Amino acid sequence: MALDEPKPEDLIFERGVYKIVFDPQITSLIRENGGLAIDYVDEVYRKGYLVTLKNVAGGCDSGGCSC
């Protein structure tokens, strides 16, 4: 994830005051996996926004990767 100015080919999703800019190469991956889930986490070992694919098994919370 990076902060950058949108390019003409980027897809922009706006919801209220939030704007999320996607590179066109990643949109098919997001669609194939049921979209994104964006949550705010405030725990001892992590704090901030957590962005995950909705339909991916074995994510970080299940111990399936080395996040």
Work out the average pLDDT over 2-30.
85
Predicted pLDDT of residue 42: 95
Predicted pLDDT of residue 63: 47
Predicted pLDDT of residue 40: 93
- 65: pLDDT strictly greater than 80: no
Number of domain units in the chain: 1
Q: Which residue's structure tokens are 């209220």?
A: 16
Tell me the residue range of the domain where 48 lies: 11-57
Work out the average pLDDT over 14-34.
87
Predicted pLDDT of residue 44: 92
Q: Is residue 67 domain-resident?
A: no
Tokens found for residue 65 = 């990767």
The alpha helices in the chain, defined as continuous H runs, are: 24-32
Q: Is residue 6 domain-resident?
A: no
Predicted pLDDT of residue 64: 46
- Using alpha carbons, list the distances in angstroms from residue 9 to 21, 44, 61: 10, 39, 33
Helix (H) or strand (E) holding 37: strand 36-42
Cβ pair 42, 50 in contact under 8 A:
no
Q: Is residue 19 domain-resident?
A: yes
When the pLDDT of each residue in the chain is averaged and rounded to a whole number, the result is 81
